[in-house]
Amino acid sequence: MTAVLMELSRILIREMNDYQVIELREVDGDRTFPIVIGLPEAQAIERRLQGIEMKRPLTHELMNNLIEEFGAELMSITINDLSDHTFFATLDIQRPGGEMLHVDARPSDAIALGIARGVPVYVEEHVLDEAESEC
C-alpha cells in the first residue's frame, strides 16, 4: 500500500467542546486531512509542540520512556485504516536488531507521542480517499 507523508498543519482547541480537531497536510501536495480528537490529546499535542515539560511524565512521555528503555526507536506513525468513521494508526517501532513492530494506536495518541520526536506521519492513500469521500 502507498503511504503519503503528512505534517501537522494546525490544531484547533476549543475547550468548551467535547472534541478538538487536528489537521494534517500533505508534504508534497495540497491535500489536508482533519482528525477529531479529545481535549486531553489535543492539549498533549499542544504541550509537546510548545516544548512544555511536565514535572512528572504523563501518558505520552511514559510511552516514549518505555520505548527508549527497551532500546527501541519510534520510526514513524502510519494512519492505516478508516472504519465506521474511526481512524486507526500504528506506531512503527524499530527494535534493537532491526525488527519493525507496528503497534496499534489511536491516531491522536500516536501523533502526540511522535510530535516531540519529530517522526514522520504517514497516511495510507486509501484512507485519504475514503476520508475525502465521507466529507
Mean confidence (pLDDT) of the chain: 89
CB contact at 8 A, 8 and 24: yes
| In the block, residue with C-alpha cell 507496528 | 102
Question: Domain map of the chain by residue range?
Answer: 3-134
Q: Running DSSP on this structure, what letter comes out for residue 17?
A: S
Q: Which CATH number, 3.40.190.10, 1.10.390.10, 3.30.505.50, 3.10.690.10, labels domain 3-134?
A: 3.10.690.10
- The pLDDT tens digits for 74-128 are 999 999 999 988 999 999 999 999 999 999 999 999 998 988 788 999 999 999 9
What is this structure's pTM?
0.89
